[in-house]
């Protein structure tokens, strides 16, 4: 854990400014975080919601579970730690999380409306090339 000398006000201000600006994840970590965001496996919060100048985000990435764990690889360094993201990457992860939530909700709504039985056993008779409905 990093320690900051409280007696040195200048370095304390510098450290606080670093947190206010946040830090970019490298491409590999960002892509992994984005995949987990799409799956809804991240938690995000503004670093300082009361400061209008502070646009950075706190990010927590959960490990993939169940079926997704067999297909989605995430580095251990990214999981179960708090990361401080800059405004740009944080905002993009929020957009990805919303898109994933919307896509999953649409899939579940379509699944709820789907009629498997009638789709399989009561297909409409399609006309053959001669124009007559088939007798199957």
State which residues form the domain around 85: 23-113
Quick check: is 93 in a domain?
Answer: yes
| Burial class of residue 134, CB neighbours in 10 A (0-12, 13-18, 19+) | exposed
pLDDT tens per residue across span 108-118:
999 999 999 98
> What is the predicted pLDDT for the residue at 11?
78
> What is the predicted pLDDT for the residue at 4?
57
Of residues 96 and 22, more confidently modeled: 96
- The SS3 call for residue 44 is strand
> What is the predicted pLDDT for the residue at 136?
47
> What is the predicted pLDDT for the residue at 3?
62
| Burial class of residue 36, CB neighbours in 10 A (0-12, 13-18, 19+) | buried
Quick check: is 54 in a domain?
Answer: yes
| Cα 74 from Cα 52, distance rounded (Å) | 33
Quick check: is 44 in a domain?
Answer: yes
Quick check: is 3 in a domain?
Answer: no
Q: Is the pLDDT of residue 124 over 90?
A: no
Quick check: is 6 in a domain?
Answer: no
| Burial class of residue 107, CB neighbours in 10 A (0-12, 13-18, 19+) | exposed
Q: Is the pLDDT of residue 122 over 70?
A: yes
Q: Is the pLDDT of residue 126 over 90?
A: no
pLDDT tens per residue across span 22-74:
899 999 999 999 999 999 999 999 998 898 888 999 999 999 999 998 899 99
Read off the pTM: 0.74
pLDDT tens per residue across span 4-32:
556 677 777 777 777 788 899 999 999 99
Quick check: is 51 in a domain?
Answer: yes
Quick check: is 11 in a domain?
Answer: no
Tell which residue, 120, 122, 104, has the closest CA to residue 112.
104
Quick check: is 83 in a domain?
Answer: yes
Q: How many domains does the chain have?
A: 1
| Cα 98 from Cα 94, distance rounded (Å) | 6
Q: Is the pLDDT of residue 125 over 70?
A: no
CB 67 within 8 A of CB 41: no
């Amino acid at each position: 854990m990093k320690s900051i000398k409280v007696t040195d006000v200048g370095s304390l201000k510098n450290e606080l400014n670093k947190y206010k600006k946040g830090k970019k994840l490298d491409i590999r970590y960002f892509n992994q975080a984005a995949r987990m965001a799409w799956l809804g496996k991240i938690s995000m919060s503004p670093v300082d919601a009361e400061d209008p100048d502070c646009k950075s985000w706190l990010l927590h990435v959960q490990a993939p579970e169940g079926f997704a764990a067999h297909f989605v690889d995430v580095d251990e360094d990214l999981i179960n730690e708090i990361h401080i993201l800059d405004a740009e990457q944080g905002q993009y992860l929020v957009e990805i999380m919303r898109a994933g939530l919307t896509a999953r909700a649409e899939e579940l709504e379509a699944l709820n409306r789907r009629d498997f039985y009638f789709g399989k056993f009561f297909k409409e008779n399609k006309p053959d090339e001669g124009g007559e409905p088939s007798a199957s």
